[in-house]
């Protein structure tokens, strides 16, 4: 035969396309899109039975006008079949010598087709495994890169870049669900869209009606939020209604991100092609996006916890400073009252200021109580454990900057009686300072031992926290424990003040050694019972 083609069924087994051909026009090869059941190949794909057509024009089943380019009117068509699963068909036409195909020819082709089907199926399976591998790769990569992702914007960017390795993406829009208003609010976008852009080329969300997509038409509690097909349909319609959003074509999906059983975000992904995303694309996107979102939230929660943890004592440090000016205002008011007694009697002014001062005093006291509920609670615990827990909490920061953490403790009675949270905070503060001093990476060493501090007669439990960071200038060394002293752009200058207060409340003492450009060692001394 001088004409032949292999046609494969699409994933949903709806139509046939030509995958390989000889003797056929390129245009035909590219444009053929044959619904299952239609024409001879479609018929064979549907029934799974091979057939020989002696004369197309006169065959009862097809009766069609033979086209010149197919040559003689005799054809062969065999299914590519594994068990009962039809993957496609093989067509042969134009038998050499202008003769008609025989039953023998058909038998030969059928045998060949069953071999070919095995090969095609193998290729499919291989493709599937490779895809699965890519999926694992992507998830693994995201997990590894997570700690270096600092903002939600770059997080989305990375997600899109990863998914692009598997299917095409032209734009992605991230929506956050506002359950109170029952709307979804766009709060990020990636890629080419018709969305108005800011000067720096970012999507100008302020120029999109932020409440544009209302969820009122769908009952959120009844709606199956995991049903990605429905969600995609809903969102593609809604996006089409708003001129600022890209108009979704076939390649579009809306991936739900569910938090504690509730729809929290929707990630819309689309490409400007007519080729729809297939089920594998959708499930990959779903998996990667939801997994990554959970991981990212976790990581962020840990960082926030670190920050919150140190805030309580900082508030109480500030509160001390609020009390002082309040006392002097009160004193000043008293002086005024004595100097102008007639004024003081006539106007409400003095009383109302008095009341306000009183209120502020109460507020400050509340603030102190609130920030430090267990201030005086002591328990017995292993000091080493608390130190290691504090290092766990800054783990993400350590990884982000490539800092190696090296703890070592020699034999000592590490069980101490103290306020656990406060001691925890001491090390958290020291570790955070060390990390901030090593933006280019380095080593964070913690050494525990028994040692006698300078100017003391007794031995103490000593914890040396050493970093290989920027160090502290000699002339600044005496100032670092002062409240509000900071050399950092966003520093509070309260960390070491808190550390010092806590240590002295535990009858301990502190020492610091530093060489500019080489590193710093803080030594925390706790008294212990022999
Ligand atoms: P903050 O960290 O908010 O600046 P701290 O009281 O924790 O406040 O620290 C005060 C200052 O001491 C810092 O701004 C920094 O200049 C210096 N400092 C503290 N720890 C270190 C360290 N490990 N290495 C270098 N400088 C440090
Ligand atoms: Mg600090």
Tell me the Ramachandran region of residue 71: left when phi exceeds 0, alpha when psi lies from -120 to 50, beta otherwise: left
Q: Is 456 helix (H, G, I), strand (E, B) or coil?
A: coil
Provide the 8-state DSSP code for 69. G
Do residues 442 and 469 touch, judged by C-beta distance below 8 A? yes
Centroid of ligand 2 to alpha carbon of 429 (angstroms): 6
Q: Is 319 in the pocket of ligand 1 (CB under 6 A)?
A: no
Give, for ligand 1, the residue of 311, 480, 521 to mutate: max count of ligand atoms closer than 8 Å to Cβ.
480
Q: Which of 403, 486, 515 to mutate to test the pocket of ligand 1 (most atoms within 8 A of CB)?
A: 486
- 281 confidence band (pLDDT: 50, 70, 90): confident
CB within 8 A of 411, min separation 6: which ones? none
437 lines ligand 1 (CB under 6 A): yes
Could you tell me the CA-to-CA distances from 11 to 15, 46, 278, 285 in Å, in that order? 9, 14, 8, 18
Whether 520 lines ligand 1, by a CB cut-off of 6 Å, is yes
d(CA 42, CA 97): 27
Atom of ligand 1 nearest to the CA of 496: 6
Phi then psi for residue 275, to 5 deg, are -75, 115
Taking the CA of 438 as reference, the closest ligand is 1
Give per-residue pLDDT as tens, 101-127: 999 999 999 999 999 999 999 888 888
Beta strands in 299-429 (DSSP E): 379-382, 403-409, 415-418
Q: Can you tell me which atom of ligand 1 is nearest the CA of 490? A: 3
pLDDT bucket at 243, cuts 50 / 70 / 90: confident
Instruction: Locate all alpha helices (DSSP H) within 216-273, ordered by sequence.
Output: 228-241
* Cβ atoms within 10 Å, residue 448: 20
List, for residues 396-454, the tens digit of each pLDDT value: 889 888 999 999 999 999 999 998 888 988 999 999 999 999 999 999 999 999 999 99
Section 333-337 average pLDDT: 86
Rounded percentage of the chain residues whose pLDDT exceeds 70: 87
Non-local CB neighbours of 205 within 8 Å, separated by 6+ positions: 186, 187, 188, 189
Residue 315: Cβ within 10 Å count: 15
| 485 touches ligand 1 (CB under 6 Å) | yes
Give percent above pLDDT 90 in the chain. 31
492 lines ligand 1 (CB under 6 A): yes
Q: Starting from the CA of residue 444, give the closest ligand.
A: 1
d(CA 450, ligand 1 centre) in Å: 26
């Amino acid at each position: 035969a001088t004409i032949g083609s292999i046609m494969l069924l699409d994933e949903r087994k709806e139509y046939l396309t030509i995958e390989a051909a000889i003797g056929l026009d390129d245009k035909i090869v590219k444009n053929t899109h044959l619904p299952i059941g239609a024409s001879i190949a479609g018929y064979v794909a549907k029934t799974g039975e091979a057939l020989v057509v002696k004369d197309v024009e006169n065959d009862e089943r097809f009766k069609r006008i033979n086209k010149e380019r197919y040559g003689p009117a005799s054809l062969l068509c065999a299914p590519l079949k594994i068990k009962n699963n039809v993957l496609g068909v093989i067509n042969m036409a134009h038998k050499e010598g202008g003769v008609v195909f025989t039953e023998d020819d058909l038998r030969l082709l059928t045998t060949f087709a069953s071999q070919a089907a095995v090969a095609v199926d193998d290729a499919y399976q291989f493709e599937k495994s490779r895809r699965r591998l890519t999926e694992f790769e992507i998830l693994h990569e995201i997990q590894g890169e997570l700690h270096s992702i600092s903002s939600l914007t770059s997080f989305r960017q990375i997600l899109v870049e990863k998914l692009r390795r598997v299917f095409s993406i032209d734009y992605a829009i991230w929506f956050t669900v506002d359950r109170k208003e029952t709307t979804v609010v766009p709060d990020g976008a990636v890629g080419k869209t018709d969305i108005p852009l800011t000067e720096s080329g970012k999507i100008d969300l302020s120029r999109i009606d932020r409440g544009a997509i209302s969820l009122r038409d769908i009952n959120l509690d009844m709606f199956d939020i995991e049903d990605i097909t429905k969600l995609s349909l809903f969102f593609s319609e809604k996006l089409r209604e708003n001129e600022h959003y890209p108009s979704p074509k076939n390649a579009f999906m809306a991936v739900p991100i569910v938090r504690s059983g509730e729809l929290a975000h929707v990630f819309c992904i689309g490409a400007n092609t007519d080729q729809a995303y297939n089920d594998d694309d959708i499930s990959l996107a779903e998996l990667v996006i939801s997994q990554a979102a959970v991981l990212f939230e976790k990581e962020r929660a840990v960082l926030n916890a670190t920050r919150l943890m140190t805030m309580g004592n900082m508030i109480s440090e500030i509160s001390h400073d609020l009390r002082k000016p309040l006392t002097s205002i009160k004193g000043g008011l008293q002086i005024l009252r004595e100097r102008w007694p007639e004024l003081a009697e006539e106007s409400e002014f003095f009383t109302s200021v008095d009341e306000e001062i009183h209120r502020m005093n109460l507020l400050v006291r509340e603030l102190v109580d609130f920030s430090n509920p267990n201030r005086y609670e002591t328990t017995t615990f292993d000091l080493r454990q608390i130190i290691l827990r504090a290092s766990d909490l800054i783990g993400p920061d350590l990884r982000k900057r490539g800092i190696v953490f090296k703890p070592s403790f020699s034999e000592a009675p590490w069980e101490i009686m103290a306020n656990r949270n406060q001691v925890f905070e001491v090390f958290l503060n020291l570790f955070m300072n060390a990390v901030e001093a090593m933006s280019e990476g380095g080593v964070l060493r913690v050494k525990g031992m028994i040692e006698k501090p300078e100017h003391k007669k007794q031995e103490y439990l000593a914890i040396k926290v050493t970093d290989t960071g920027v160090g502290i200038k000699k002339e600044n060394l005496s100032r670092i424990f002062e409240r509000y002293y900071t050399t950092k752009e966003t520093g509070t200058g309260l960390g070491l003040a808190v550390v010092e207060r806590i240590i002295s409340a535990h009858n301990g003492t502190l020492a610091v050694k530093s060489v500019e450009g080489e590193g710093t060692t803080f030594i925390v001394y706790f008294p212990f019972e022999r």
